[in-house]
Amino acid sequence: MTAEEMVDRHLRAVFDELVTAIYETKQLVWSAPASQRGQLQDLLGFLVERSHRVDEAEARIDGRAPGMAAPSSHERRNLLGEVDNDVQAALRAYTVRLSGLASEIRRRASTMGVAGEATLLVEIADDLQRRVELLVGS
């Protein structure tokens, strides 16, 4: 596998994870306490914008890969159903998952070396972790 193919593969994986996080965030915006909705809506906007940036970076590498799934084709988890409609439990699971996603994005960036796309991924991971910490602290 060439370095370019490896970067492309990591970008596709990050894109998929960001899209999954977008759908999870949308669920929580509707059910979260009013005091957290604003932060979740801000987080949703962040995830959408960053997924577009990752998509654009992936497309610059030899065009869009055939394995790149459209956002509408992603499976949607039922966060609330998984925790018997306990909104606080869903929020806790969600923030743990997003912290894990930030770590996973950093790990993928570190395997890319000095590629410009690695810088993009590190920025996304850092911004995502900061937003999660703000959400947890609210």
User: Quick one: pLDDT at residue 110?
Assistant: 94
Q: Where are the domains of the chain?
A: 3-63+85-137
Contact in structure between 127 and 17 (CB atoms under 8 Å): no
Q: Is the pLDDT of residue 126 over 90?
A: yes
pLDDT in tens, 64-106: 656 555 555 556 678 888 888 899 999 999 999 999 999 999 9
Report d(CA 67, CA 9) in Å as an integer: 9
Other beta carbons less than 10 A from residue 107's beta carbon? 12
Both structure tokens of 55: 């998509």
pLDDT in tens, 25-60: 999 998 988 988 999 999 999 999 999 999 999 888
Closest-CA residue to 79 (of 40, 49, 131):
40
Report d(CA 103, CA 121) in Å as an integer: 11
> What size, in residues, is the chain?
138
Both structure tokens of 124: 């996304």
1.20.1260.10, 2.40.10.120, 1.10.10.10, 1.20.120.430: CATH of 3-63+85-137 = 1.20.1260.10
User: Quick one: pLDDT at residue 21?
Assistant: 95
User: Quick one: pLDDT at residue 73?
Assistant: 56
Report d(CA 103, CA 136) in Å as an integer: 17
Please, what is the Cα angle at 13 between 119 and 64, to 5 degrees? 85
